[in-house]
Amino acid sequence: MQIKERQYIKKMTDRKIIIPGEVIFEGEDYLPGEGTEKKGKEIISLRYGLAEESNKLVKVIPLSGVYQPRRGNVVIGRVENITFNGWIIDIGASDRAFLSLTEVPRYVNKDGLDEVMDFNNMVVAKIWGINKRGIDLSIKSRGLGKIDEGMIIKINSNKVPRVIGKEGSMVNLIKENTNCNITVGQNGLIWIQGDKIEDELFAKKAVLFVVEKSFISGLTDELKKWFDKEKGK
């Protein structure tokens, strides 16, 4: 059974679903990476997901679960609370995220924080630090800031890499075909902005198609076919 698993993982096209406690590899040849642990001579999985091996490093890519924040991620969140020096943003992670006044690239009156961003406003922000107290956000960069118009949809955060595609190939394909501006937050929130509502709804449909078919390999080509079919209607 061990040998069978090894062969399975070598074929990178169909990676294998691993459950916690399951032995991924045996022997000293491999190093345990993210989501794995070395127990005696075996590398066991700690998480439910897909096992992947590259350069002798074994890791498990999670398939489900809440969003795990990482430094540098661009996320979309909702203003949950306003404090005297910033905003508390709900980004769907287990920790609370804080956007400090000093991380806003404009002058803000200390009494008028709500004029810049009020409760329930949506904001695109970048995670610049994670510590014990929580997550620190910043909007000091291009493309970040408050969302004024458009549509926001929510998907499983583990499907985000599929929606973006290799070097943004998937999301660019959707952008080209729908004339919409799309910002994908790593936490699973997607901001779609187009000239017409129809365009936005079409883009939403395309994103949901990608999410639904996320387990298929060669999905970019599949999406191209889908667009041809949908536009031919």
Give residues in contact with other proteins (CB under 8 A). Answer: 17, 19-22, 35, 37, 44, 46-49, 62-66, 94-96, 158, 215
CB of 66 to other proteins, least distance (A): 5
Whichever of 16 and 140 has its CB closer to other proteins, that residue is 16
CB of 132 to other proteins, least distance (A): 8
Q: How far apart are CA 68 and CA 187, in angstroms?
A: 8
Whichever of 62 and 145 has its CB closer to other proteins, that residue is 62
Whichever of 183 and 187 has its CB closer to other proteins, that residue is 187
Q: Which two tokens stand for residue 209?
A: 């198609």
CB of 139 to other proteins, least distance (A): 23
CB of 201 to other proteins, least distance (A): 22
Whichever of 12 and 17 has its CB closer to other proteins, that residue is 17
Q: How far apart are CA 86 and CA 71, in angstroms?
A: 19
Long-range contacts of 141-145 (CB under 8 A, 24+ apart): 143/74, 143/183, 144/74
Question: In sequence order, which residues have a C-beta less than 8 Å from that of residue 109 and are 6 or more positions away?
Answer: 115
**What order do you get walking across the sheet with 36-39 strand by strand?**
23-26, 42-45, 36-39
CA angle 184–200–161, rounded 5-degree value: 25
Whichever of 35 and 86 has its CB closer to other proteins, that residue is 35
For helices 197-212 and 169-178, angle between their N-to-C axes, nearest 10 degrees: 150
CB of 65 to other proteins, least distance (A): 2
